[in-house]
Chains A and B, each alone.
Chain A
Amino acid sequence: MRQIQPRRNYLGAVGWLWAGNYKVERYLYILHRITGLGILFFLLLHLIMTTVFRIQGQDVWEATMAILHNPWFKIGEYLVVVAFVYHALNGLRLILQELGFLMVRPAPPIYPYRDSLRRKRPWTIAMIAVVVILALVFFYDFIAGGW
């Protein structure tokens, strides 16, 4: 008998990003990961700015601030704010649901099946609505502050 090695078929990191026909929580998972990594990247820049540039005195600091008032940096800052708001509120939802709150009790499955995430989806939608509202509030401030 010949032994044949089965072919590996892992989706890999593509499987994180590709969410196909799955429902909204699957997309929130991707966004949570992307915003987390994005904020980590920003955190490193922010730490460099507030330590290396901060300690060199007033002239360097004000020069750095002048660079950061560039519209592109402002857009970047706005994206970081939105990412933070999303990551915080979705993280709150994850904490509640992973600790078993905002989940239903186990019940015998009766067709058509409705899993507990689907039954608690109104809360998820409400979370997304709060994120959108906060994003709009911060956007208004960015416009009003004149970039």
Chain B
Amino acid sequence: MDKNNLITFKVQRYDPEHDRIPHFQEFMVPSGKCLTVLEGLLYIKENLDSSLAFRASCRMAICGSCGILINNYPNLACHTQIEEFHSDTLTVKPLPNLPIIKDLVVDLIPFFNTHKSIKPYILRQDAEEMEKPTAEYAQPPRALETLLQFTHCIKCGICISACPTSASDRLFLGPQALSQCYRYCTDNRDEGEKERFPMVDTDHGVWHCHLAGACSEACPKGVDPALAIQLLKRRLVSRAVALGKKQQPSSTVPSPAETKPKLPFPGFTVK
């Protein structure tokens, strides 16, 4: 590590027990090649100020814990190189539009509750099969491709902080929940449209997306929530005007005995 190359981290601090409003604190962090912002924060925590609170877990952009606002752009701290910005100072703030617990830690529980409210699981009419499953539901690869992109969501809350509607509308479902709603509605194993559409077709639902595109721009996993929301709108409109074909929900995979006989177990080759 090159000790001479120092980067100034301007970190927003907020301790709910002592501070009334958040303030900034500056830290000098030695920088080098291939260092991420998260490693800078870990350096501060280890060497400069152990009271700094931030959340991180996997350090490889898969857990979605370390979403923060770096130079006024939301991103994962573990996913952003310090060198990217070509500057000596780095402003680090918690994600906006989510409540701050302490320093860089935001409260994701309302966000998760919104996600739960759109029923992010397979819904079927046949309750008995859901309670006591006999086999899995069939899904051809082509059907999987229509939703695979949206399953990459890691629930980091970055799209919520990028969305201009979420900035002012507290009851807005947000890009994450709406895109997940589409992901389950378009699943060929699912028949829960009747239960989910009343959730998103409200005064604070899908029609308050105005296609600013910031969620897709900021998404660190390339989920493209804006695309999912527009496709959800298309689906709602096609149901409203009764146009477009409705896919039949897939049936369960026939048990192997009905398809073809099992191969006989080969006999021992070595006596």
| Chain A residues engaging chain B, CB cutoff 8 angstroms | 4-16, 19-23, 25-26, 28-29, 32-33, 94, 97-100, 103-111, 113, 115-118
Contacts and interface: CB of A to CB of B under 8 A. Distances in A.
Given A9-B106, A21-B73, A116-B216, A94 B224 contact: no
B250 to A, nearest CB: 18
Given A103-B227, A104-B227, A106-B224, 12 more contacts: A4-B101, A7-B16, A9-B96, A9-B99, A20-B72, A21-B73, A22-B212, A100-B231, A103-B231, A106-B145, A108-B149, A111-B222
Given A22-B214, A23-B217, A25-B212, A9 B94 contact: yes
B230 A98 contact: yes
Contacts of B146: 105-106
A94 B152 CA distance: 26
B167 A26 contact: no
Interface of B: 14, 16-17, 22, 71-73, 94-101, 106-107, 145-150, 152, 162, 164, 166-168, 170, 210-214, 216-219, 221-224, 226-228, 230-231, 233-234, 237
5 contacts: A13-B167, A16-B164, A98-B234, A100-B233, A107-B149
Contacts of A118: 216-217
B222 A115 contact: yes
Contact of B96 (A11, A98, A103, A116): A11
A16 B166 CA distance: 9
B99 to A, nearest CB: 3
